[in-house]
Amino acid sequence: MVRRGFAAPGVGERLARAVKDVEGRTSAEVVVAVRRLSGDYAAADLRFGLLLAFGALLAVYGLPHAFDDAAFVLDPAFFFLVGAFAAPYFPALRRLLTRPARRRENVRVAARAAFVDLGVGRLKGQNGVLVFASLLERSVEVVSDAGIDVGAMGRPWQEAVKRLQGALGSGPDVAAFDEALRSLGPPLQRVLPREDDDVNELPDEVGVE
């Protein structure tokens, strides 16, 4: 099967080069994390199962064919199980059956957990930036440490973050994400210019988990 989007061959290396380009301008440490999803969507799976079960019940009740009494129980139960087990294979379905606020909160919480797990928040200079992309939710969360003055970076930073979000908004666009990631460099350089003794403290490699 041909892999596409962020899972396609060479994408990790491409984004790692973008990280190196950004860090070549600034003493900030940039980490990119790409996740397939950021939360538990079992509730959406169950909703889909219930929808299929309800449809099966209406069909048994409304069709002119004569059904056994057991069909009023067994058919809806069967379609409920089919729906609940099939939904995880259809990200668009999970998005449709989950409130946008819930999806945003899942990404926000997962990004802050990754900020800690990946060591971005443990740098001595408090100069870490995490770019967290979650594919199912089509959302990007940028988390920066206390040593980075986001307000001083102004509109260029805000526009770069907005472009990162837009690169996933209607489906993963690796080229747009790469370009937006590189655009973080100039505003970061403004508040944290690169120094001669800067050391790369965190890996630049990017993978999809």
As a whole number, the mean pLDDT across the chain is: 89
> Longest C-alpha distance within the chain, in Å?
82
Which of 51, 9, 60 has the alpha carbon at shortest distance from 207? 9
Alpha-helical runs (H) found in the chain? 11-23, 42-62, 71-86, 91-96, 100-117, 150-169, 174-182, 185-191
Strands 29-35 and 128-134: parallel
Q: Which residue has the tokens 């999806």?
A: 103
Distance from C-alpha of 70 to C-alpha of 39, rounded to nearest angstrom: 37
Residue type, 183: S
Task: Give yes or no for residue 1 having a pLDDT over 50.
Answer: no
* Residues 11, 164: Cα–Cα separation, whole Å: 16
CATH 3.40.50.620 for domain 5-39+99-191:
no
For residue range 49-94, list pLDDT tens digits in order: 999 999 888 887 777 776 676 777 788 889 889 999 999 999 999 9
CATH 3.10.310.50, the chain: domain bounds: 5-39+99-191
